[in-house]
Chains A and B, each alone.
Chain A
Amino acid sequence: MFKFIVRRFLQTIPVVIGVTLLVFSLMHFIPGDPAQIMAGETAPPEQVERMRERLGLNDPVYVQYGRYVTNLLQGDMGQSIRSSRNVLDEIRPRFWITVKLALYSTILSVFIGLIAGVFSAVRRYGLADTTIMIIALFGLSMPNFWLGLMLIQFFSIELSLLPPSGWGTWQQTILPVITLGTAGAAIIARVTRASMLEVINQDYVRTARAKGLSERVVIYKHALKNAMIPVITVVGLELGVLLSGTVLTETVFSINGMGRLVIHAISSRDFPVVQGVVLIFALMFVLVNFLVDVSYRYFNKRVDYN
C-alpha cells in the first residue's frame, strides 16, 4: 500500500509540471499583444511598454517560464493588474469559501445519489425506479446556472424563504449547495443504480441471504459496500466537475469565492489572477484524483491480485 502511494504520488509530478506549463502559456495564447490588451486598448505606447516590462514579456519564453516556476515555488503567483495586490492574497480569503461550497455540494450529491441509486436498484423497473431515473436524467441535462436562477425565483422571490445571494449563514448555504449538487447527485444515482444491479446478482449476495440476514443488511452491508467501489471513481470525477461548477454557482448567487474572482478577472483582463485561480483549481483536482486513487485501492482489496 505504501509503495503504491509513493508510486502514485510520483505519477502526479509530470502532470503538475504539464499543468504549470499550460497555465503559463495561457498568456501567450492571447491573440495580439497581451501587454496592449492588459494595459487597455487605448493605453499610450509608454504605458504598454511598462506593462510589457512588468509582465516580463521582453525575455525569451524559456526564461519567462523558469521565472514563473521559481516564483511559484516561493508562493509567488504574480501581481493582480487591477488591484496591484499579490495574486495569492487575492485568492486566499476566497479559497475556503469555494472549497466549502464544493465540499458541501459533494456531500449532498453523494448522499442523495447513493440513496436514490440504491432505492432505484432495489425497485428496478418499478414506478419509483423509472421516476427517479427520469428525474436524474433531467437533473444532469439541466444547466446548473438555470437551476440556481429558478431556485432563487421560487424560494427567495415567491416564498421569501431563503436569501438569494451571499455566503456565510446556513440559510445562504442551502440554495447554492442544491444548485451545485444536483447534477452530481444525478450522475451518482445512475452509477450507483447500475453498480447495485450488477452486484445484486452476485453469488455472495445469495450467500448473505442464505445466512438468514435481513434484506436491509443484505442490501446496505453486503451489496452496497461492493457497489461503492466503482462509485468512488465517479465521486472523484464529480468533485472536479463541482469545483469548476463553483464558477457558475458563485456568479448566480453573488458569492465571493474563487469562481467569481476568475470571472471578474477575465472581464477586466486581469490575466495573472486568471492564471492563479486556474492553477489552484487544477492543483486541487490533481490532489483529489490522487486521494481517490488511494482510497479506491484501499476499498478494493482485490486489485492487488488481479
Chain B
Amino acid sequence: MTGLATGSDNDTSGAVVSTSNWRLVYRKLKKNKTALFGGYLILLLIVVAIVGPYLTVHDPVRVDLGNRLQSPSAEFWLGTDHNGRDVFTRLIHGMQITLFVGFASVLVGALVGVPLGIVSGYYGGAIDSVIMRIIDVLLAFPGILLAIALVSVLGGGIGNVIIAVAVFAIPTFARVVRGSTLTVKKLEYIDAVRALGATDLRIIVKHVLPNILSPIIVQATLRIAIAILVASTLSFLGLGAQPPSPEWGRMLSDGRNYMFDYPHVALFPGLAIAIAVLAFNLFGDGLRDALDPKTKK
C-alpha cells in the first residue's frame, strides 16, 4: 500500500482516511466478526462462481422434461424446475452472472460518478452547480424506477441491465465523492502542493484521489449489494436476463407459476440472492465502521 499516497503523513479528517492507515483499518476489520464473515462469504461466492460450473454434473440449460419438478433429493440437491433442470446447478452457474452484473455495473457507475464528483467538488462554481442539478434530476426518480425506465427503452439482456444499474449508481457515487473531495481540498498540504506548481490533474490524481479512496470503496461495496438486488429485480420483471439464462431473478419469475405446488423452485433462487446481497452488506458495513475515524482508538 505504500507509495499510493505521497503525502500520507498529513492529518486527515472527516470521512477521509489516508492510505497510511490501511493497516489500522485491516486490524479493526479483523476484530469485527460479522464483517469478517461477510468478507469470507464474498470470497467463497467468487471461488464458487469461478470453479463451480466445472464441478456440477447436470446441464444448467438443457431441458429434461422427464425429470421436471422433482423435489430435492440426493441426485437433485435442490430439486428441478419446470423444465427438469437441476436448480442447484443453475444456481451455481447463475452466480457468475450475478457477481459479474454486480461488479461490472458498480465499476461503470463509479467510472462515471467518481470523476463527476471530483470535478464538482474540486472546481466548484458553475460546473459544480450544473453537475449537481443533473444529479438532482437523476435522484428524482425514486428507487429502481430509473433502472426500470432505462431498461424499458433499451430492451432486456444482461448488457442493458448493467447500463441501467450503473446509471442508477452514478448519483450516489458523485455525491459521496463530491463531499469527500471538498474535505480533502481544505487540507493545507493541497495548498502547499498547488503553491509548488502542480497541475490540477496531478493534484487530483496524486493527492485527492488517494485520500478519498476509502469512502469510494465503502460505497462500492454497499452498491454491489444494491446492484445485485436491482439486477435480479429487473430480471424478475422480465426486463433483464432472458430464458434460458440461469440468472437468479429470472429463475424466480420462471418458477413462479409452479411454486404453489413446488415451493423449492422459488425458495432457493430467492435465498441465493439474499445471501449474496447479505455478504456485501455485512462487509460494507464493517468496512464503513473500520474506516470511520470516529471509532478509531
Contact = CB atoms under 8 A, between A and B. Distances in A.
A14 to B, nearest CB: 6
A29 B154 contact: yes
| Size bracket, chain A contacts | 35 or more
B142 A281 contact: yes
Interface string A246-257: 011001000000
Q: Which residue among A15, A143, A243, A247 has the maximum number of chain B CB atoms within 10 Å of its CB?
A: A143
Interface in A1-30: 14-15, 18-19, 21-23, 26-27, 29-30
A143 B155 contact: no
B144 A244 contact: yes
A140 B277 CA distance: 9
B259 interface: yes
Contact of B237 (A15, A21, A251): A251
A14 B133 CA distance: 8
Contacts, number: 135
A29 B155 CA distance: 10
A282 interface: yes
A236 to B, nearest CB: 10
Contact of B252 (A146, A245, A247): A146
Interface in B241-294: 249, 252, 256, 259-260, 263, 266-267, 269-270, 273-275, 277-278, 281-282, 285
A150 interface: yes
A142 B273 CA distance: 7
Contacts of B249: 143
A247 B138 CA distance: 19
A118 B225 CA distance: 26
Contact of A243 (B138, B142, B260): B142
* Size category of the binding interface on chain B: 35 or more
A271 B155 CA distance: 12
B193 interface: no
B154 A31 contact: yes
Contact of A19 (B137, B153, B274, B275): B137
Given A15-B137, A27-B153, A262-B148, A244 B142 contact: yes
B229 A143 contact: yes
Interface string B145-171: 100111011110000000000000000
A146 B273 contact: yes
A138 B153 contact: no
Nearest to A102: B142
Given A143-B236, A146-B270, A149-B270, A278 B252 contact: no
Given A240-B142, A285-B140, A278 B266 contact: no
Contacts of B143: 240-245
Max chain B Cβ within 10 angstroms of own Cβ: one of A19, A149, A240: A149
Given A153-B263, A244-B143, A267 B153 contact: no
A282 B237 contact: no
Q: Closest 4 CB pairs between A and B?
A: A146-B270, A240-B142, A244-B143, A18-B137
Interface of B: 133-134, 136-138, 140-145, 148-150, 152-155, 225, 229, 232-233, 236-239, 249, 252, 256, 259-260, 263, 266-267, 269-270, 273-275, 277-278, 281-282, 285
